[in-house]
Amino acid sequence: QKEVEQNSGPLSVPEGAIASLNCTYSDRGSQSFFWYRQYSGKSPELIMSIYSNGDKEDGRFTAQLNKASQYVSLLIRDSQPSDSATYLCAVRTGANNLFFGTGTRLTVIP
């Protein structure tokens, strides 16, 4: 079983809609959770981090964490074509142990 699982997509949403990206993880002791955005041919860029159960909002982005269900999600409100990218979920299980999912490719259709 992989440490971090994501639906590879592609996920297509119309411009202005809410995009919902999901991630599950296997280690119940996981402590920190991150969402990275990666444009094609570019490096991963950190967009959100979340450490405790509940929601964390930053602009159009909301991260949601449910440790009991071992589930973390990212909502993007008012999706824009510039949000089209691959979104990587990363989960820290201990010091220096950061595991990445394979990413979900999001396409926002104008």
Partner 1 sequence: NAGVTQTPKFQVLKTGQSMTLQCAQDMNHNSMYWYRQDPGMGLRLIYYSASEGTTDKGEVPNGYNVSRLNKREFSLRLESAAPSQTSVYFCASSMNSVSEQFFGPGTRLTVL
Q: Which is nearer to partner 1, 33 or 62 (CB)?
A: 33
CA distance 100 to 32: 12
Report whether 76 contacts 57 (CB < 8 A): no
Report if residue 44 touches partner 1, rule: CB under 8 A. Answer: yes
Q: What angle do CA 81, 98, 86 make, to 5 degrees?
A: 15
Of positions 25, 79, 84, 103, contacts partner 1 by CB under 8 A: 103
Contact 2, 98 (CB under 8 A): no
Asked if 34 is part of the footprint of partner 1 (rule: CB under 8 A), the reply reads yes
- Binding residues (CB under 8 A) for partner 1: these are 4, 31-32, 34, 36, 42-46, 49, 88, 90, 92, 95-96, 98, 100-103
